[in-house]
Amino acid sequence: MTNSLFHWTNETLKQQIGQMVVVRASGHLFDQQIRFPTWEAPNVQLRHWLQTLNLGGIILLGGTGAELALRTQQLQQWSKTPLLVAADTEEGVGQRFSGATWFPPPMALGAIAKQNLDQAIEYATQMGAVTAQEALAIGINWILAPIVDVNNNPENPVINIRSFSNDPEIVSHLATAFINGAKTYNVLTTTKHFPGHGDTSIDSHLDLPVIPHKTRRLAEVELVPFKKAIEAGVDSVMTAHLLIQAWDEQKPATLSNKILTGQLREKLGFEGLIVTDALVMGGVTNYATPEEVAVMAVEAGADILLMPHDPKKTIEAVYQAVESGRITRERIESSLSRIWHAKQKVSTTICSPENQLLSSLNQLSQPRAKQTVVHILQYSSEKGGSLPLKKKYKRRNLIVVDDLLNCDFLDRQTPAITIPKQLGYNLQLVDENTLSLVLKKNRNTLLQIFVRGNPFRGNAGLTDRAQKIYKKLIKHKMVKGLIIYGSPYVRDWFLSETNLLKDNLPWVFSYGQMAEGQDISCRTLFGLSEVSCNLQDTFL
């Protein structure tokens, strides 16, 4: 890609501002597959935006790896200027796009680091390299990872196991290792959420968290991983919708010049792209109108406006701010320069020839990547109690998830279902809305809980109602075995607040909720061989 592809001086001011806008789009090819219509425009609208507004990029969610390879080519063809194509791949490309490699959550690496830092760094480097390789294979050139938030608040509802650790030094080591691994490919990396979203009990998707810490504490904890990531050459930094009282008592970090320009640019010396967190989130939408939020973010120093509610109105608002003198043309030009520099870096991979599609897809889920996933799961998992769980007939396999309509990690053929079924267990699948049903029958139970912090979840672990039900199940000796997938804070609750230890109940904990995590956990609980076998023939 050369400078001539952009023709900055020949574009109108509105088209130049369009390069600062990145919109959300479905990774699926067809409109009827759109899962989040509030944020994902239908194809006619999306194509119109790309062809008329000169948008700078797209952030994608949904679809298979193969589907995304076609989708990214389609979107690049619709746009007159090569696009930055982003995705939240904190746990690998397979976290968002099935068929690719899905790694365990970053905190699994943090758990390994406490025992063997060098081994964890090696895995983090491999994770970064595999994520970058697979992203580029399907047309993603901007990885919105790694997270460098220090999750030192167990009640954090949104960061949780997305963080590497509660230790800033471990976070720094693993995040820089991920960045170094990814740097072996021409892909952009991102640290988030500046200046640190780890110590809050409020989800900024829903409201504006307040961080009361003094400047010294911020320097000793929250800022440490950001400094190391910048030294490692991270390409972009994503802002946090947080009120950092020590630096700006009025404006969220995303909208604060004191924070984005004063702290990130001037004090930390960051020269890459500053990208806002999604501008549809409650942390800023409750602060001002969408148009005013966009203008304030640019004033603060943001180069990329991520997921504004209406890109056309956003561009118009920033344009009017420039025309009125509120924002200088130099401020816009500085962002354009950084965007151009970023697009130059990914120029050789920003558009893949169609005849390379099958070759690219062969790079997904390669054996070495799968092996790394298994090793991370094995070395970060925990177990206790009287293992293995003795197998008897007519028992219940009770699986609890947050939302039955949104649990992609489960289907009829995933190990959490198939292994107990082959051992004579009958499935009961419930979520928070139907959890009370589990007490109606006094049945010996294998309890499998899938729970972790996630955006929009609202809490970090178990609700009060869920805690009461689990206590009753264990108190009445209905639970004979327990597997927890996801949050170590939920594991800690069971170990401290129930009779799990006193009754010596067999239990297993896994950070990963994917099929590999389920397989390892179920085989550990039942004492089965790791070698694939016909369980019906072996145990029945």
Known catalytic membership, residue 205: yes
Say what the pLDDT of residue 391 is.
73
Say what the pLDDT of residue 347 is.
81
Distance from C-alpha of 407 to C-alpha of 401, rounded to nearest angstrom: 7
What dihedral angle (degrees, nearest 10) is formed by the CA atoms of 283, 222, 260, 304?
-60
Q: What is the mean pLDDT of each run of 10 residues along the chain (540 residues)?
A: 45 94 97 92 97 97 95 95 97 96 98 98 98 96 97 86 96 98 97 92 75 93 98 97 94 96 98 96 86 97 97 97 97 97 84 62 92 98 95 84 88 95 94 83 90 69 89 92 96 93 94 97 92 36
Say what the pLDDT of residue 28 is.
96
Place of tokens 């425009």: 41
Say what the pLDDT of residue 404 is.
87
Say what the pLDDT of residue 303 is.
98
Instruction: From the candidates 173, 197, 205, 309, give the one annotated as an active-site residue.
Output: 205
Say what the pLDDT of residue 459 is.
63
- Which domains, and CATH codes, for the chain? 20-367 (3.20.20.300), 381-539 (3.40.50.10870)
Say what the pLDDT of residue 198 is.
84
Say what the pLDDT of residue 396 is.
93
Say what the pLDDT of residue 535 is.
36
Say what the pLDDT of residue 394 is.
72
Say what the pLDDT of residue 537 is.
32
pTM for the full predicted model: 0.93
> Is the peptide bond preceding residue 195 cis, with omega within 30 degrees of 0?
yes
Say what the pLDDT of residue 441 is.
72
Known catalytic membership, residue 31: no
Q: Are 80 and 54 in contact (CB under 8 A)?
A: yes
| The token pair that represents 223 in the structure block | 């800022």
Say what the pLDDT of residue 458 is.
60
Contacts of residue 180, defined as CB under 8 A and 6 or more positions apart, other chains included, come to 125, 128, 232
Phi, psi of 479, rounded to the nearest 5 degrees:
-80, 120
Interhelix angle 43-52/65-78, rounded to 10 degrees, is 40
Instruction: From the candidates 88, 203, 277, 519, give the one annotated as an active-site residue.
Output: 277
